[in-house]
Structures are given as structure tokens and as C-alpha cells.
Structure 1
Amino acid sequence: MHYGYDGCVAVVTGGSSGIGLATVRLLLESGARVAFCARNENRLNDVAAVLRRDFGADNVLTAAFSVLDKEAVNDFASQVRARFGTCDLLVNNAGQGRISSFADTSDDDWRAEYELKLFSQILP
């Protein structure tokens, strides 16, 4: 399905797997140029190689970092500006799936989840 994002620039956090990767693919299929990031550099590089092959290297920009690292977030924003000039769409998808019950999740795990979910949205 094509959603008409021709000429748009999209940024997707957490784009190397799951919903994030599906979003990156959909945006590329719909004509967008896409910059995406993820923490796992090896997986990011593997995914990026396939996407560059399928959609063209000029349409894909990647960076491996944690969205909780403010300096890295700002550096990525600068890379997007330098490469694409703008950002039309932002998909804040960074996160992780935790497999545990409520009772088995420690206070530190709850804090880490909260920090990731909240601060990944508000860091510039």
C-alpha cells in the first residue's frame, strides 16, 4: 500500500525490528526518505543493508545509539538535517518488550521502562 509520502523525510526511532522496522519499510514503500536509529548496531547494519539495496542508499540514513543519550539524539538530528534538509514525520517508537509478570518486575526495571518510554519522547 502506498500512502503518498513522496518527497517527505521521516525519522523513526527503534527502527531495526518489529513495529519500527515495519514502519520504516512502509514509509520507504510510500516514497519517503527515512532516517532511523536503534541501539543494536549489528542488527541495524544488517537491516540497513537490505533497505539500501531495496530502496536505494540515498533514501536511507541510520545511526546506532540510545535515545536516552541527549548528545547522540542531537547529533542524529544534525545528520538528518545535513543529509535530507528537513524532517516531515517523526515516529517515536523506541522501546523494548519486557517479558515478566507485574510481581516479577523490580522497581529498577519499572524505572528503566518509565525512563525509556518518557525521555525518548521529550529529548530534543
Structure 2
Amino acid sequence: MLRQAGLDDDAIADAELIVGELAANAERHGRPPFEVHVFSVDGVPAWCEIIDGDPDVHEVAIILDLLRSVREIGLPLLAEDGRGLLLAHRLSGGHCHVHSITTCTTGTPGKAVAFALPLSSSPRSDVPPGAGDGR
């Protein structure tokens, strides 16, 4: 989808890295079901969500708030946890969010960690589609 949207190999590699890191976080820290949603705007992929069946957004929100508020974060601060969120935050230009969601596969509460996909021409949206609407 990203190649068809005209993105270069570096942008696609960044998106793949973020998806891999967030999927690993979901598997390690969350619980099933696991889902990936991609949102398009005018046919162009704009946001991606990695979803798990753990509805607790609190810890992820704290880490993302910390990443937004501190200019320079050393990796020891995040130790073994949080590097996936650090990568998602940096590679998405700070456009990374967590919100509550209802999973599509089971209809149960969960959480989505969403990030803006790179766009070839238009600016990134600050808020993922559906953030906070409980889908």
C-alpha cells in the first residue's frame, strides 16, 4: 500500500520497523486478540493501529507523554521496555498515540497504539482516525 502511495524505500522501512516493534510490544505486554488496522485518507494510507485485547492504556500513555515532553531521552531511562514506543515516536515525527478501542474480532475492549504513516505530499494528521470513539 505504501509503495502504491509513492513512498520511497526508507519511508516504507520505517513503517515496517514501527509495525514490528509495536506488534512485539502488543504480544509481550498485551493479550489477544491482536489486530492491525490501516486507515486511508483519499486512498492514501495515513495511519496504522496495532491493537491488543488489554484495555489498559495508562502505561503506554505515560511513556508517550514522557516522550513528547522530553527533548533528549537516553536509552537507559527506558531500559528494556519502551524502546519500541521510542522508535515509533521518533520515526513517526511524534505522531504516535494510544487510545481505547473495541476489537473487531471479539467486540471486547482493547487498546490501539496508532502512528502516522509517512505521506509523500500532504502533512500528517495529528490525531488518528477514530481515536477515542470506542470502535
Specify the TM-score bucket, using the shorter chain as the normaliser. 0.3 to 0.5
Q: TM-score, normalised by structure 2?
A: 0.32
Structure of larger gyration radius:
1
The structure whose residues are more often helix, as a share, is 1
The structure whose residues are more often strand, as a share, is 2
Q: TM-score, normalised by structure 1?
A: 0.34
